[in-house]
Structure 1
């Protein structure tokens, strides 16, 4: 079940970045929701990565998913903080 939740969180981060560039900045209406989601998924990824599970439950795909979730949430958080506070008109520069 944890693997499925991690995979869905990774897919939501991909949808966030794709939605930003497809919808030309509509993400600003929900940017604070996405920032909270990134923080929650970052802490979940770190917690899953450093959890004390049996070796049979913590196999290679589990570790790969935890690392991918941590990386994708941190990159999405940096992207959101940059586009929300530092350069809110990034989508205009790209077009």
Structure 2
């Protein structure tokens, strides 16, 4: 008898509410496995792409992007006018 058949026999003998809990637990286990596989894939990609991502040219581009983002954020904050506690107007 396979594991799946043994589990089926055990779950079949349970009351409906407990069988639902078993089903929920099986869903949790599947989701956990999917997350582990995704994490392993990301780790493998990160390691193999590190030389591409970690070069000096990318650092210059990332720094420029960060400066543009900071300047845009400052500009947005300057455009906000506070009027009363809890209210603001943009413009």
TM-score (norm 1): 0.34
Higher relative contact order (CA 8 A, sep 6+): 1
Q: Which has the larger radius of gyration?
A: 2
TM-score (norm 2): 0.36
